[in-house]
Amino acid sequence: MMCYAQKEDLLLEETYMDTLMEVVDFNNENLGSLGGLDCLLDHSTGILNEHGETVFVFGDAGVGKSMLLQRLQSLWASGRLASAAKFFFHFRCRMFSCFKESDTLCLQDLLFKHFCYPEQDPEEVFSFLLRFPHTALFTFDGLDELHSDFDLSRVPDSCCPWEPAHPLVLLANLLSGRLLKGAGKLLTARTGVEVPRQLLRKKVLLRGFSPGHLRAYARRMFPERTAHEHLLQQLDANPNLCSLCAVPLFCWIIFRCFQHFHTAFEGSSQLPDCAVTLTDVFLLVTEVHLNRTQPSSLVQRNTRSPAETLRAGWRTLHALGQVAHRGTDRSLFVFGQEEVQASKLQEGDLQLGFLRALSDVGPEQGQQSYEFFHLTLQSFFTAFFLVADDKVGTRELLRFFREWTSPGETPSTFCYPSFFSFQCLGGGSRLGPDPFRNKDHFQFTNLFLCGLLAKARQKLLQQLVPKATLRRKRKALWAHLFASLRSYLKSLPRVQSGGFSQVHAMPTFLWMLRCIYETQSQKVGRLAAKGISANYLKLAFCNACSADCSALSFVLHHFHRQLALDLDNNNLNDYGVQELQPCFSRLTVIRLSVNQITDTGVKVLCEELTKYKIVTFLGLYNNQITDIGAKYVAQILDECRGLTHLKLGKNRITGEGGKCVALAVKNSTSIVDVGMWGNQIGDEGAKAFAEALRDHPSLSNLSLAFNGISPEGGKSLAQALKQNTTLTIFWLTKNELNDEAAECFAEMLKVNQTLRHLWLIQNHITVKGTAQLAEALQKNSTITEICLNGNLINQEEAKVFENEKRIICF
């Protein structure tokens, strides 16, 4: 892998690290984690569609999709990939943008002339591929970066491997399986791109670095113990920086800058101890690489300030900005020699590494093409051009903000033509919705624009841009930013529920918050907070990461009323919880389920929530909480006397942690609903909950499903319910209860007259235990259902209970 500044080669082995990989269903619900790259091609796990041929890997910009494919190819080439593939073809989808509408190729030319040429007998190799397509593995990187004006709706659905066709037609037919059906296919794209379900075999979501990954990566990048410990100490002191480092690309950039300072200044490197924005990071990396053009002795003496460095590199930065802006404006990411020359970039500018040369692409050989190191870098230079060029007017400055649309509206900026929405890929007509809904290159441009025009950077940029120009552009940007935010929030549908005025914001709202955070202006944050009129903010399934919590806190700490916040099903982890600390003084409802939160994050919650004692709902379902974290949760329940709902299901809590939570439940006079589904509290925990149930004053809903509870634990719970008058819903699904336990529940039902729903689904109860439960119902008119689906009762045996409608066996 070529280093950012193209002055050294970095070995992929030394820089690559697996990130969090999750298998998801068609609705992006988590089905489990992937242990490694071999699992991507494993046909035994995570299969959504047996007839699909494409493994679809998606994630945010910078999360490591391209690096994953490079690593996969490296493993295959060295014989370390558990795959029978004899051929490996790697395509980058952005390259297809280089073809003109009139260009045609046959499949053999596409494979061999534009990927690799066989050493001998290409016809024989191609013939072998046609006969045995399953021996080939294709990877297509960056479907979202594909842009073309070619209208695929005008071409036939079928395609002959020998007949010339437009390269996009070949690509579409490869993906759909009309060409080389049976070949393995791995496709990547950024979050938001939809692929027809019939094509998909498996969906994998890349989440980035967990705190554990980050520490391991620091040790890999800095093998010397003193250096990596110094780095980790600084990261631990700045959760905001850790949040940025959860994105592998940004982590690599930050670590490389740290490495540069550590080397250049004799180990005196120091990361910032204040809030760091993405604009700060990209300005820093720009400064670092511009300074590398100096003689090493000058670098070591650090004679230039950041402003002087940018001023010295003004011509280069402006030329790079021109190239970037022309591409972003047309959603193009590959540039020809003519475009580079038109910007007056010089050979020395290319050596900086911001732009890198590509091998020949397109049907015309011998033409050099270029691309930016990463899409985010192109967006940064686009924003720099919009700020620095005095000719850019207000309309052009705000051009990419047209993507900020209210729910249900269509963006006025047209990013990707719907050229892929045709029958060959299973899509509809070209009049349908744009399948390329992700426009991150526009969004990142907006973000960097806000960062560069922030007042804090005025001193830096006024060396390059007249004060009046900066003032004019900043005024126009702020006016548009606030107007967009107000309009967006007003357009969100409101639901009145449980005393809350609830709005469900979408990812666009997150981009707005990110832009506001880049300004680092408290005035901007206050004005944004004023626009939030609802008191329940739902941001579930928005693909929010830990860094987004920095942006959210930046605005919400100016929100002076109590607030309910739903961040379920995102990617926050412990760093995100730390970044939310300024908000906890006003949060009454906190939903953080499915967010990779560990005991460390729960400790932060405990410290903060017990300060203010206003929380009423705490959702931590499906995280990574152990018995240690369960003790912190118990402390929250003990001290926050208004807590009514606690969701702790699908964590890693055993009997010890279960006892702690149960004791806290026993002592609480406010708790109404406790969810412990999918832990392993066993009989030890069940007995503790039995003690909690006896004469409890408030608990009405309890789930102990899927907890390894045996008949012994079940009997304890049944006995306790004889002395309970509040519980109405009790779930014991997927345990190990048998007829002996069923008999105890039957005896309980003769006494307890408040329980309404008893779920004993998927246990080991036979017709004998069912009969005892049915008999007990003769003395209980309150209970409405006993669910016994999935027990040891066949349909013939179940007929005996047909007249008792409250017994549900099937």
pLDDT for 438? 56
Full-model pTM: 0.86
> Cβ(658)–Cβ(687) under 8 Å?
no
Question: Which tops the pLDDT comparison, 30 or 653?
Answer: 653
pLDDT for 137? 94
pLDDT for 299? 43
Token pair for 539: 């941001």
Q: How far is CA 66 from CA 36, 62, 218, in A?
A: 16, 9, 21
pLDDT for 435? 38
Distance spanning both ends of the chain, measured CA to CA: 58
C-alpha span between 305 and 105 (Å, rounded): 53
DSSP secondary structure string for all residues of 273-316: SS---HHHHHHHHHHHHHHTTS-HHHHHHT---HHHHHHHTHHH
| Band of residue 436 on the pLDDT scale cut at 50, 70, 90 | very low
pLDDT for 230? 83
203: closest CA among 213, 189, 221, 217? 189
pLDDT for 421? 43
pLDDT for 313? 86
Q: Is the pLDDT of residue 596 over 50?
A: yes
* Radius of gyration for the chain, computed over Cα atoms and rounded to the nearest angstrom: 30
pLDDT for 792? 96
pLDDT for 424? 40
CATH code of the domain made up of 19-208: 3.40.50.300
At 644-681, the pLDDT tens digits run 999 999 999 999 999 999 999 999 999 999 999 999 99
At 573-590, the pLDDT tens digits run 999 999 999 999 999 999
Q: Is the pLDDT of residue 359 over 80?
A: no
pLDDT for 232? 85
pLDDT for 294? 61
> Average pLDDT, stretch 507-521?
92
Q: Is the pLDDT of residue 404 over 80?
A: no
pLDDT for 62? 92
pLDDT for 202? 94
| Band of residue 497 on the pLDDT scale cut at 50, 70, 90 | confident
Burial 691-710 (b: 16+ CB within 10 A, else e): ebbeebeebbbbbbbbbbbb
Rounded percentage of the chain residues whose pLDDT exceeds 90: 54
> Average pLDDT, stretch 586-599?
97
Q: Is the pLDDT of residue 11 over 70?
A: no
| Band of residue 7 on the pLDDT scale cut at 50, 70, 90 | very low
| Band of residue 269 on the pLDDT scale cut at 50, 70, 90 | low
Q: Is the pLDDT of residue 411 over 50?
A: no
Average pLDDT, the chain: 87
> Average pLDDT, stretch 247-272?
70
> Average pLDDT, stretch 358-376?
72
Q: Is the pLDDT of residue 312 over 80?
A: yes
Q: Is the pLDDT of residue 431 over 60?
A: no
> Average pLDDT, stretch 690-695?
98
Q: How far is CA 473 from CA 104, 448, 453, 458, 567, in A?
A: 45, 14, 8, 12, 34
| Band of residue 25 on the pLDDT scale cut at 50, 70, 90 | very high
| Band of residue 195 on the pLDDT scale cut at 50, 70, 90 | confident
pLDDT for 419? 39
Question: Which tops the pLDDT comparison, 589 or 123?
Answer: 589
> Cβ(543)–Cβ(191) under 8 Å?
yes
Least reliable range by pLDDT among 368-372, 557-561, 597-601, 618-622: 368-372
Which runs of consecutive H residues, i.e. helices, occur in 293-401? Answer: 296-301, 306-312, 314-329, 337-342, 347-350, 375-388, 394-397
C-alpha span between 346 and 327 (Å, rounded): 19
Q: Is the pLDDT of residue 409 over 50?
A: no
16: closest CA among 36, 33, 32, 44? 36
DSSP secondary structure string for all residues of 214-243: HHHHHHHH--SHHHHHHHHHHHHT-HHHHH
* Domain-wise residue ranges, the chain: 19-208, 210-267, 492-591
At 39-84, the pLDDT tens digits run 888 888 889 999 888 999 999 999 999 999 999 999 999 898 888 8
pLDDT for 412? 39
Strands 701-703 and 729-731: parallel
At 209-253, the pLDDT tens digits run 988 899 999 998 888 888 888 888 888 888 888 888 999 999 988
C-alpha span between 348 and 143 (Å, rounded): 32
Beta bridge partners of 785: 757
C-alpha span between 752 and 682 (Å, rounded): 24
> Average pLDDT, stretch 556-572?
95
C-alpha span between 728 and 698 (Å, rounded): 11
Token pair for 652: 């890693």
Token pair for 347: 């050979």
